Structure 1
Amino acid sequence: MYTYTIKRSLWALLLLACTLVACEDFLEEKPDGKLAVPSSLEDLQALLDYVNVLNYNSPAGSSETSADDYYLTTDAWAALFNEGEQRKYTWAEDNLFHIDYYPNDWYSAYERVYYANTVLEGLQRLARTPANAAAWDQVKGQALYHRAQALLNAAFVWTVAYDEATAATDLGLPLRLSTDFGGRSVRASLQETYGQILQDLEQATALLPVTARHVMRPSAPAAHALLARTLLVMGRYAEAGAQADRSLQLYDRLLDYNTLDSAVSFPFPPFNPEVLQESQISTPEPLYISTARVDSTLYRLYAPDDLRKALFFQENADGSQAYRGSYEGNPTLFAGVATDEVYLIQAETLARAGDVTGALERLNTLLRYRWRTGTFVELTAATPDEALALVLQERRKELLMRGLRWMDIKRLNREGAGITLRRVLDGRAYVLPPGDPRFALPLPEEVIELSGMTQNPR
């Protein structure tokens, strides 16, 4: 598994580069690029600030490519350079990933894990003292957060939805928790995989500061939010709601969409007040703004006075819609953690607990910032099921193109939603019904050949 990461990872370690493009004045103190081995807290922090690995290559592109927020025309699909992306779009059974193609989400996920492990091992060689305790804790918290985030995104791509009844035997991920290349790669169970993610995040919440120096670095509110996301997809709704509440208690700002200009190409400023932790997808070909067309059924869900309709989309020459609503402020897709998602997690968990009033209060709080001033009429529901339906619809409308929809489909189908995906290319229909094993994408064939790990069933 680590064979293809060694050269690039070690090269990065030798350089200790802190590439901070578009990060304003973040980390004005540059690390010493001549250091070969991280030997101080400053060196370890420099590794964590290597944003090209830890922030700018989120392994979430495969999730979004596989999901239903968009579609491709036959000509656009045929023009894709990467055959793996073509196969991914049609939910083919194999050969979706290749070492020579970029972006490679498997590579990106485990490169992040490698960096995090390097930092955690480096901390073991540095004594925690009263003088360095705050910095030591923050470095450890950041490394744990990044490892958990990488594993969670990978689980969204390569595992089935978490089911408590089968998680102990369902295939999870290989859990590489050290930098030792000699260890044999073995797939853990899904229960063990999510257990490791929860353990990392629970530790991170206690170690990270309430306010990070920059959203490139994780914070306590971000860790609670990512923990809430993890528990949500596991179906542990009461715990997910509690973590969402803790995150919002620490930071609850929302961005008023009335303050944004729909006339500019990309209306959302990077690092806007809703962003808790910055991460972006290495956008694969099918999701290019010039290629991907927004699902028309999804687009019709937005009312005229819902500002997301004007801010998220732009009309193409053929009358279709392109997505331009990324919180990156450019065509790159946002895959980090933001407060709007936390409000929606809290609303969903309250609805599932039967608290209609609480669920709609959270949901309406968010939507007041999304509608044209003076036009929003608060949503109402008579039953918990009605409230849940409203929350899930707004979740779909709010969080599109963030690498979340693919796992949402899987977890909702686990609950009996019956979501079937369909594509049509040149008159041929491709269908992905609920429960199909292709919802867990195949591991790269090179990984299977090198490691002997079990491939996902087809």
Structure 2
Amino acid sequence: MHKIKTYIIYTAWCILLTVFAGCKKYLEQKPVSGVDTPDTLPELQGLLDRYSRLNINDPGSDEISSDDYYLTTSDWQSQNEQHRRMYIWEKDNLFPIPSLEWSSAYSSLYYANTVLEAIDKIEPLPATKADWNNIKGQAYFLRARLFFRIANIWSLAYDKSTASSDLGIPLRLTTDFNAPSQRNSAQETHTLIIDDLKNALGLLDIVPKAVTRPSKPAAAGLLARVYLSMREYDSCYKYADIAITYKNTLLNYNNSPEIKPTASFPFQPFNAEVIFYSLVNTPSILLNARAKVDSNLYRSFDSNDLRKTLFFRSNNNGTYGFKGGYDGNIGLFTGICTDELYLMRAELHARAERLNEAAIDLNKLLVTRWKQGTYQPYFFNSKQDALNIILTERRKQLQMRCLRWLDIKRLNKEGYNISLRRIINAQEYVLDPNSLRFALPIPEDIIKMTGMPQNPR
């Protein structure tokens, strides 16, 4: 344990200095002598169990930029300058200096890379082979998950026809601070994420000791999410189906003991739908007393739909805040759950014109969301009818999970022409479909330190 603490303190200091920039001026000093590198399986597992670093510290700028909420002018004015600018999709200066959201995400990646470098130096014995596999699989999963979160914020929607030349993100695959940071292509970025997740899927346990650790259903579920963002629908279906095969539990919103309807936050953390647990360290701009739920979205819930009371709290002034996250507190859930899997598989059935199967998956989910005996099952007559309903239900069920930004980007590539609008001080701000601003600017201090190309605006 002493070795782990010493190593973490030292690496955290190095990360703070370099911000993963490969900036030479910070590398002239020799490392502190006598620093121990984790070299046993329990020590490596200890690094991966850093809950505060790897489970509840996700970047959340995609949710700030999205449209499931709005701010009043007074609430907007109460925010720091960067969040005010981010809310109205300004072209630059969206992150403070130092750029903590970017550097924190890459700092977390350091843990996964440390494990992947160290574990191959440990010979797996028959008695430890299962643990060796699982630890390596966890590291692959965590690295892929972080790269995907970063890519969703700082790169545009994946487009197969241009991916080899489109800007992706820096893929730091080493703990070597001397390695310079440079931007990989969108194709390289997504290939690495998929390769890591497929490696993880082959190594992980089916049932983890806790849902804060990755597992086979988590890897399959995240693969499905990645392929959905790429509009690789056959592959999305394949892995959503695999994940459901591993875990298909759905909460019954009528009577689940894991739901406390009168609580400030009704859903208990680690509930039966959760496959992998992760959160955004929620910024003040998204707290539910401030972030008002889109009024059209709120009105789209039927009075017999239990989500209308479980997901929303009245502000006693005609507006509502969101309280339905699977954290059981103010955190915004970004993990993998079975509800998302059923919605993905329903959408993919519809896209393949398997309309009966699409209805079965959607109905299986929604009957658990409505007051018992009131739900009327869907029957689809056309592919477009099915997609319209499924995508509507996807937005309703998965709001405030850092998925809406991803959905807007990939659906606009399908021609949905979703534009976003904000009104502040009676002035309207618009983000047009497929705008270059759907890739947030990389923090200016990182661009200055590394010389990487900035996202075009």
Relative to the length of structure 1, the TM-score reads 0.91
Kept in 1, the 8 Å contact 2:221–2:240? The answer is yes
For residues 38 and 207 of structure 2, what CA distance do their matches in structure 1 show? 25
Partner of 1:42 in structure 2? 42
Name 2:125's counterpart in structure 1. 129
Match among 166, 173, 179 for residue 175 of structure 2: 179
Do the aligned partners of residues 338 and 13 (structure 1) sit closer, same or farther apart at CA in structure 2, a change above 3 Å counting? farther
Runs (4+) of structure 1 exceeding 4 A deviation are: 6-9
Matched, 1:10 2:11: yes
1:212 aligns with 2:208: yes
Could you report, residue by residue, the CA deviation over 1:219-275 in whole angstroms, capped at 9, with x for unpaired residues? Answer: 100100000000011011011011000001111000111123422211101100000
Give the aligned partner of residue 279 of structure 1: 278
Q: How does 1:22-421 map to 2 (within 5 A)?
A: 36-59=36-59, 61-80=60-79, 82-100=80-98, 104-259=100-255, 260-421=259-420
Q: Say if 2:86 and 2:94, in contact at 8 Å, map to a contact too.
A: yes
- 1:12, CA displacement in angstroms? 8.1
In 1, Cα distance between the equivalents of 2:69 and 2:316? 17
What residue identity is the alignment partner of 2:112?
A: A
Instruction: Name the amino acid aligned to 1:451.
Output: T
Give yes or no for contact 2:279–2:332 (8 Å, CA) kept in 1. yes
Q: Distance in 2 between matches of 1:294 and 1:410?
A: 20
What's the RMSD between the two structures over aligned residues? 1.7
Q: Distance in 2 between matches of 1:136 and 1:302?
A: 47
Q: What letter is aligned with 2:435?
A: D
CA distance in 2, matches of 1:258, 1:232: 30
CA distance in 2, matches of 1:100, 1:89: 20
What CA distance in whole angstroms lies between the structure 1 residues aligned with 2:117 and 2:228? Answer: 30
Q: Distance in 2 between matches of 1:9 and 1:417?
A: 49
CA–CA distance in structure 1, aligned partners of residues 441 and 160 of structure 2? 22
Note the C-alpha offset of 1:108: 2.5
CA distance in 2, matches of 1:287, 1:51: 22
Amino acid at match of 1:196: L
CA pair 457-428 structure 1, distance change in 2 beyond 3 A: same
CA distance in 1, matches of 2:13, 2:109: 14
Q: Secondary structure at the match of 1:411?
A: helix
Q: C-alpha separation between the residues in 2 aligned to 1:441 and 1:342? A: 28
Give 1:127 shift: 1.2
State the Cα distance separating 1:162 from its structure 2 match: 0.6
Contact 1:443 1:456 survives alignment (8 Å): yes
Using the aligned pairs only, state the percent identity: 47
> Residues 306 and 372 of structure 1 are in contact (CA less than 8 Å); yes or no, is this contact kept in structure 2?
yes
Secondary structure of 1:258's match?
coil
Question: Structure 2: which amino acid aligns with 1:299?
Answer: Y
Whole-angstrom CA distance in 2 between matches of 1:57 and 1:421: 27
User: What residue ranges of structure 2 are gaps of 5+ in the alignment?
Assistant: 1-6, 16-33
Q: Name 1:433's counterpart in structure 2.
A: 432
CA distance in 1, matches of 2:14, 2:204: 24
Please list the CA deviations of residues 72-108 of structure 1 after superposition, one character each: whole Å capped at 9, or x if unmatched. 000000001x21111110000001112447xx33123
Is 1:173–1:187's contact at 8 Å kept on the other side of the alignment? yes
Q: Find the aligned partners of 2:319 and 2:117 in 1 and give their Cα distance.
A: 51
What TM-score, normalized to structure 2? 0.92
TM superposition shift of 1:13: 10
Indicate if the aligned counterparts of 1:241 and 1:349 stay in contact, CA closer than 8 A.
yes
Structure 1 distance, partners of 2:196, 2:97, is 28
Equivalent residue of 1:257, what SS?
coil
Q: In the alignment, residue 276 of structure 1 is paired with which amino acid?
A: I
Counterpart in the other structure of 1:456: 455
AA at the equivalent of 1:86:
R
d(CA) in 2 for partners of 1:198, 1:216: 21
Which SS does the other structure have where 2:318 is aligned? coil
Paired with 1:139 and 1:326, the residues of 2 have a C-alpha distance of 29
Tell me, which stretches of 5 or more residues in structure 1 are unaligned? 1-5, 15-33
Alpha-carbon contact 2:12-2:107 (below 8 Å) kept: no
The 1:170–1:366 alpha-carbon spacing in structure 2 relative to 1, beyond 3 Å, is same
CA distance in 2 between partners of 1:173 and 1:261 (Å): 41
Matches of 2:58 and 2:11, distance apart in 1: 19
SS in 1 for 2:169: strand
What is the aligned partner in structure 1 of residue 24 from structure 2?
none
C-alpha spacing 1:9/1:443, structure 2 compared with 1 (3 Å)? farther
Structure 2 letter corresponding to 1:280: L
Does the aligned pair in 2 maintain the 1:13–1:36 contact within 8 Å?
Answer: no
- Give the drift of 1:317: 2.5
Aligned counterparts of 2:14 and 2:138: Cα–Cα separation in 1: 17
